[in-house]
Amino acid sequence: MNNNQTVQAKKKQGRSTTAIHAGYHADPQTGALATPIYQTSTFVFTSTEEGARRFAGEEAGYVYSRLGNPTVTVLEEKIAALEKAEAGLAFASGMAAVSAVLMALVKSGDHILGTKGLYGCTYGLLNLMQDRFGVTYSLCDMKDEASIRQELSPATRVIYIETPINPTMELVDLKLVAKIAKEIGAYVVVDNTFMSPYLQRPIEHGCDIVIHSATKFIGGHGDVIAGVAAGPQSIMDTIRMTSLKDIGGIIGPFDAYLLIRGLKTLGVRMDRHCENGQRVAEFLHQHPKVAKVHYPGFAQFPQYELACRQMDGFGGLLAFELKGGMEAGIRMMNNVQLCKRAVSLGDVDSLIQHPASMTHSIVPPQEREKMGITDGLIRLSVGIEDIEDILDDLEAALAFA
């Protein structure tokens, strides 16, 4: 290897550079800088033989947009590069990604072990798979090795993780779970929505597959519903040709274009989310009406050391508990002006919600308490507005709490 090759081998692109440039191949005819939107359902073959080869998988190329589309390919290559995976897939929604991945990995009689506090629709999917298809599941807090091992069974095929967990921001040790999974031959699937690949890359810690609701930080602007997954080429190929193709939860080329555009600013947005999130957490920690703040960026956070080990930043998601309980939470929520009352997250806008009266209102109070969701808990997705404006809005609303 010559000196020039040595320099090239050692050089690695940064995360923002990867988000902007990965997957981009300029059209040699037009030189278009922006990724073109290939708004087509099907593709023309130059001959019957070419079509036959593509259907047989003997030749690369596009056949039908449910099976692949050039705009979507750029998005998939970007996600794979950012997550340090061999391949990526794009879907019509985050739940389309979750369902396609799980259905491709398990069969009747298999068992899935998940983290407590799973996203409600993921929990609903697990119930559906158990009731209709005989795939059992159990949930545990995964706080340590013993708690994980006691929930495993010989049928455990997948360990499914969300970290941080919504809305309490508790973390799961990715390396620990990966180690246990490899011992029993199970796959580790991680919902990485809360962090984005800019702040956390589970595959680097030994996990197998990463999933995102791309609606959130990847898109970043609240204007698209989408999902993505990344992992080994062989598994992604299997998912593409089975549960993605046959169930059909595909993303359209225009939505893929919006995500590609969103990814170009992922780095600057996430840096600002982290900066604003830290400032808001510190402000709330000192506020007399706030009992507790859940944010991994605090040295007082019980899993702060773990957060420093497996995350490159602490993000813009946090939760805080009001001393006044349910009524205080409702009053505070009703008096925000800049922060928007909405249940999504990861937008450039600051979004705030009250789980006890909104997303988790159907959960019995005693069950909510077990999940760490008190009546006065508020979840805040801190946006990228000027920090003083966010703090002023929160301070004014907290006066009513």
As given in the structure block, the two tokens for residue 234 are 């062989």
Residues counted in the chain:
401
With a CB cutoff of 8 Å and minimum separation 6, the contacts of 176 are 145, 148
- In contact, 244 and 67? CB cutoff 8 Å: no
End-to-end CA distance of the chain: 66
Amino acid at position 250, single letter? I
With a CB cutoff of 8 Å and minimum separation 6, the contacts of 283 are 391, 394, 395
Q: Which of 110, 191, 255, 393 is catalytic?
A: 191
Q: Which of 24, 64, 66, 340 is catalytic?
A: 66
Q: Which of 15, 78, 116, 216 is catalytic?
A: 216
Give the separation between CA 264 and CA 154, rounded to whole angstroms.
44
168: closest CA among 201, 194, 199? 194
Amino acid at position 249, single letter? G
How far CA 301 is from CA of 171, 311, 352, in Å, comes to: 10, 14, 21
Q: Which of 62, 119, 160, 295 is catalytic?
A: 119
216: exposed, middle or buried (Cβ count in 10 Å: 0-12, 13-18, 19+): buried
160: exposed, middle or buried (Cβ count in 10 Å: 0-12, 13-18, 19+): buried
How far CA 381 is from CA of 20, 213, 265, 371, in Å, comes to: 24, 15, 18, 20
As given in the structure block, the two tokens for residue 88 are 């990526």
Kindly state the DSSP code that residue 242 receives in the 8-state scheme: I
Active site residue 386: no
Ranges of H-type helices in 22-144: 48-56, 70-82, 94-105, 120-133
85: closest CA among 198, 192, 229? 229
The SS3 of residue 210 is strand
With residue 156 as reference, give the H or E element that holds it. strand 156-162
Active site residue 119: yes
Cis peptide bond upstream of 167, omega within 30: yes
Tell me the catalytic residues: 66, 119, 191, 216
